[in-house]
Structure 1
Amino acid sequence: MCPGLSDDLQQIDNARKTAIIDRELKRLNIDIAALQETRLSESGSLKESNYTFFWRGQEHHERRLYGVGFAVWNTLLSTIEAHSSGTPRVLSLRLTTSSGPTNILSVYTPTLSSATEAKDQFYEELEAKIRLIPKKEHLFLLGDFNARVGADHDSWPRCIGHFGVGKLNENGLLELCSFHDLCLTNTFFPTKPHHRMSWRHPRSYHWHQLDFVATRRSLLNQVLVTRSYHSADCDTDHSLVASKVRLLPRRAHHSKQKPRPRINIARTNKSELQELFAIAIDEALEGCPTDSATERWNHIREAVFQTALDTFGRRERKSTDWFEAGVAKLEPAIAAKRVSLLAHKKDPSTKTLVALCAARSDTQKIARRCANDYWLNLCHNIQLSADLGNMRGMYEGMKKALGPSPVKTAPLKTAEGEIIKDRCKQMKRWAEHYQELYSRETTITSTALENTQSLPPMVELDTPPTNEELSKDVDNLANSKAPGSDNIPPEVIKAAKGSSLLQHLHELLKQCWKEGAVPQDMRDTMIVTLYKNKGERSDCNNYRGILLLSIVGKAFARVALNRLQLLAERVYPEAQCAFRAARSAIDMVFSVRQLQEKCREQRQPL
């Protein structure tokens, strides 16, 4: 299940297995899929077009064996809770439903030829995991158990049904099911014989039932059917086993508000759209309330956002990799390969094998051609951006070349070092960390105040800001910056310079200046945490917090900052070089190095 990502660019797998699995699961209308033999290191997640993948594997320095994971339909993400504390053979997922919590385990059992110690250790881990789940909660075990349970219903009446397949081999699956009152749903439904099989032996060509869906015996009446789908083509020798269950997911409550749609800033440079936006914003801002700064800002914010969204439209999702860019050419070849695979499974002969190999070869050729065209076009765009000095375009192209980044997760730790698994407590830990980081009180001693030189007051700093000051600061706002909770990017504010928006913002700024405070919405910020790629992921100090503020609030802050800079110039000592115009710290370091070199050349003391 390699997603096509690697730390070494020379070892990137262009198969894009997660994209293929994403399309196959969507075609078969699967909501949650348990994955085995993922062979991905550590734990993480990756979001594709329709599904989000979670996995747990060996450590980064160990050989990539085993590995389990889940593929969850994106609309169900708000109803699930994935745990990263599993093992490379057992990973759990908790689903919130109308009938109570449902626990799903993705399981990969050691093969029959594995050592007895490995099998015993696995079943001990699995049994310990099941014991932690309360009996009143639903439980499903999905995965490759590498076990044949046979058809002896009389000996195991609570565990297997009347539609088992084959003979029983040496395994601990039935003992585990009997002890915890679990049943194998594959054996309880009168499906076609080939729909009960999931794996064919490569030499004897005999079909076996190795992949199971197990649940509590009391929940068997909620299972509608369990069968195999041999048409699922994900380059694996196991067939997909799907179970239809009567469950209604329930959206978990989150305090996080639904984000606003993003405005397509690429269209803000078109002059005809700018004219339409200026006319529309003038009409929307008529009758703006003036009772308080908060009411005025709320009206301006909603009018600007809705008008910009109607004029410029929503930002479309860009193609992330070569697979999505060339899916129109790949889809017919993938469909033909799927038909050949199904024909070979029904009739394993030399003729069907040759047809399957030919279909795989054609698909591989088309995939390589699509990938080659995509990489050549992407490299050309990166080189062109570099030649033109467009650093942003160059780095965006490099991000496309690296592909979607897997999100690696780890449970947080408290300040005392205790592990936090509860999501609400983790959010409280983040709030505690940033409150301690950004809300530190600055203590000024009386001695420092006495030694500070008294200066005459600057009365001109108290005068209301002018329209020219605000217009200059709006022009100085950097483009392509992430907005705050209002989701109004700087390009929208600049596109409305020819309208009455700037005048309304100036009136709002003067009202805030008079009231002595800005609206709380401008001061609220969204904090995005980024891992520093060093230290433990469970330590909050190893993350960098990125603050997303309101763009209009930034413009107002620039006006106040420029006023304060005039006061700071009177207080700064001559040696202060950083955070001052025309006095960069880099320039001062360069000057010191030049002095050192000249002193060495002249053999003079520094």
Structure 2
Amino acid sequence: MCPGLTDDVQQIDDARKTAETRLADSGSIREANYTFFWQGLSQDDPRRHGVGFAVKNSLTAAIEPPTGGTERILALRLSTTAGFVNLLSIYAPTLCSTPEVKDHFFEALDEAISRIPSTEGLYLLGDFNARVGADRDTWPSCLGHHGIGRMNENGQRLLELCCHHGLCVTNTYFMCKERHKVSWRHPRSQHWHRLDLVITRRADLSTVLHTRSFHSADCDTDHSLVGSKVRLTAKKIHRTKTKGLPRINTCSTKDPERSRLFQDTLNEKMDTSSHNVTDTDSKWYHLRDAIYSSALTTFGKKEHRSADWYEAHWEKLQPVTETKRKALLAHKQNPCPSTRDALRAARNKAQQTARRCANDYWLNLCRRIQTAADSGNARGMYDGIKTATGPTATKTAPLKSKTGEIITDQCKQLERWVEHYLEMYATCNVVTDAALDTLPSLSVMEELDALPMLEESKAIDYLSCGKAPGKDGIPPEVLKSGKPALLQHLHELLRLCWEKGHVPQDMRDATI
């Protein structure tokens, strides 16, 4: 027996649908715990509507990023052990919208559902601005025994669409408290209604364990959070791009104790058997793996993320945020002047604290950037600027064929890229003998043919710190920290490369 959804909202965190994002165009941005995808109107249009998804970072390897959505409908494809599942983020027109707007929306929604194969799972999540009511006798294939309220015009349009595609409203199939069935309260009548729905195929209803509202979730919106627990197991999508190596924490290389420990660990791994290797590739692989593993063990992994203004002042913001959440819940349970005044006071206190913390954070960050710029610390200055600008928003654009049609199939997308690059590099450049004869003849520099001496020491000293590592994952700071233990091994490797006339592929590959 499954007890259904947990009361802890923080545990319902796999994928979340967002509406009224009011963000321009389309794109994605990766934060600490979630990756956000959004779709809105163009940059020149008013910031209205907008839909999106917030996907837990652990699930990003199992999804196909959304493409080709609108400001009201956005689709995301999730790979599971039972096959692909499609999630649609919906923001429907309100009841007072014009019939033309409603017709256009439901036609677009019908087209989006029709494009999804019937063998794949389908879940519609969103603010449908529709009351579907509780008339199960009239809509037996769409509604369960636990509906609420009466149906309106938008609700009838939605149920007709559900009947046509074999869909059902999961909110009406689970017995729960009345307040867990509703998600929005009318501002004038103060009556609660069910507008936010989770819809799936009738055949997939058994995968939905529970759907209910959470009024305790403080989202700063007039809608309450609606959660649905679904029995699905994500399956990673195979991608050709290999996963990069973990970055080494170069800040620890400044610690003398850790540097000595790194050198000792490296000497232990570089046993005498490596000195007898005569193959350049084998010698390089042995040296590369020894350096990287020793550095990763000694210095640890690099933390890519720095705290934002909210996390930096978590101790101050958490109490006022919790007080505001409790005041909101008390007002929803007992709407009266006293709870309303308490909610206003809690909101004012939270806003004042948030503004003060944000202001202090930005002042300290600007001061740090200015100090780095005045002292000539270019790296510190650019690190501060990068922290201020935050993560880069990734813009997404659909791949089109020569005729302008949008390509969604991955195999056809790869074929289109092959076609594009074949056309780009199809021209053959012909070099004539006359052009070769015009090249000047220079004298041979015999001194360059001599074996390399112990000049690697100067080369290591001249390495610039703060640079990105290559394919081997070894940053310059690690080479400088382990210079006493590495110098002889690097010299032997370079001599072997010189004598054999062969350089390992890792040293020839460029990272772009």
State the TM-score bracket (shorter-chain normalisation). Answer: over 0.9
1:114 pairs with 93, 97, 115, which one? 97
Instruction: Check 1:122–1:418 CA distance in 2 against 1; reply closer, same or farther (3 A cut).
Output: closer
Q: Percent identity?
A: 54
Residue in 2 that maps onto 1:191 = 176
Mapped pair 1:337 → 2:324:
yes
**CA shift digits 1:457-478 (9 cap, x unpaired):** 332222222221x333333322
**CA shift digits 1:411-431 (9 cap, x unpaired):** 234678664434455567667
> Structure 1: how far apart are the matches of 2:342 and 2:495?
76
2:255 pairs with 260, 265, 270, which one? 270
Residue in 2 that maps onto 1:154 = 137
Residue in 2 that maps onto 1:92 = 75
Mapped pair 1:489 → 2:485:
no
Instruction: Check 1:339–1:506 CA distance in 2 against 1; reply closer, same or farther (3 A cut).
Output: same
Question: What SS does the corresponding residue of 2:436 show, helix, strand or coil?
Answer: helix
RMSD: 2.3
Pairs within 5 Å for 1:67-106: 67-106=50-89
> Structure 1: how far apart are the matches of 2:210 and 2:449?
75
Using the TM superposition, give the Cα deviation of residue 363 of structure 1 relative to its aligned residue in structure 2, in angstroms: 1.1
Residue in 1 that maps onto 2:359 = 372
Question: What SS does the corresponding residue of 1:149 show, helix, strand or coil?
Answer: coil
Mapped pair 1:225 → 2:210:
yes
1:296 pairs with 274, 279, 283, which one? 283
Instruction: Check 1:440–1:278 CA distance in 2 against 1; reply closer, same or farther (3 A cut).
Output: farther
Pairs within 5 Å for 1:121-160: 121-160=104-143
Pairs within 5 Å for 1:505-520: 505-520=490-505
> Structure 1: how far apart are the matches of 2:76 and 2:29?
16
Instruction: Check 1:26–1:456 CA distance in 2 against 1; reply closer, same or farther (3 A cut).
Output: farther
Mapped pair 1:235 → 2:220:
yes
> Structure 1: how far apart are the matches of 2:422 and 2:490?
31
Structure 2 counterpart of 1:339, which letter? K
> Structure 1: how far apart are the matches of 2:67 and 2:391?
20
Query: 1:319 touches 1:325 (CA, 8 Å); kept in 2?
Result: no
Residue in 1 that maps onto 2:393 = 406
Residue in 1 that maps onto 2:3 = none
Instruction: Check 1:475–1:441 CA distance in 2 against 1; reply closer, same or farther (3 A cut).
Output: farther
Pairs within 5 Å for 1:354-369: 354-369=341-356
Question: TM-score, normalising length from structure 2?
Answer: 0.93
Pairs within 5 Å for 1:293-442: 293-413=280-400, 419-423=406-410, 426=413
Query: 1:467 touches 1:506 (CA, 8 Å); kept in 2?
Result: yes
Gaps of 5+ in 1: 1-23, 527-546, 548-606
Instruction: Check 1:478–1:433 CA distance in 2 against 1; reply closer, same or farther (3 A cut).
Output: farther
1:246 pairs with 224, 231, 253, which one? 231
Between the two structures, name the one with larger relative contact order (CA 8 Å, sep ≥ 6): 2
Instruction: Check 1:38–1:260 CA distance in 2 against 1; reply closer, same or farther (3 A cut).
Output: same
Question: What SS does the corresponding residue of 1:94 show, helix, strand or coil?
Answer: strand
Aligned residues: 502
Using the TM superposition, give the Cα deviation of residue 84 of structure 1 relative to its aligned residue in structure 2, in angstroms: 2.5
> Structure 1: how far apart are the matches of 2:420 and 2:249?
35
Query: 2:460 touches 2:483 (CA, 8 Å); kept in 1?
Result: no
Instruction: Check 1:401–1:455 CA distance in 2 against 1; reply closer, same or farther (3 A cut).
Output: closer
> Structure 1: how far apart are the matches of 2:266 and 2:415?
40
Residue in 1 that maps onto 2:4 = none
Instruction: Check 1:414–1:328 CA distance in 2 against 1; reply closer, same or farther (3 A cut).
Output: farther
Using the TM superposition, give the Cα deviation of residue 69 of structure 1 relative to its aligned residue in structure 2, in angstroms: 0.3
Mapped pair 1:523 → 2:508:
yes
Instruction: Check 1:431–1:135 CA distance in 2 against 1; reply closer, same or farther (3 A cut).
Output: closer
> Structure 2: how far apart are the matches of 1:140 and 1:29?
16
Pairs within 5 Å for 1:521-600: 521-526=506-511, 547=512
Mapped pair 1:280 → 2:268:
no
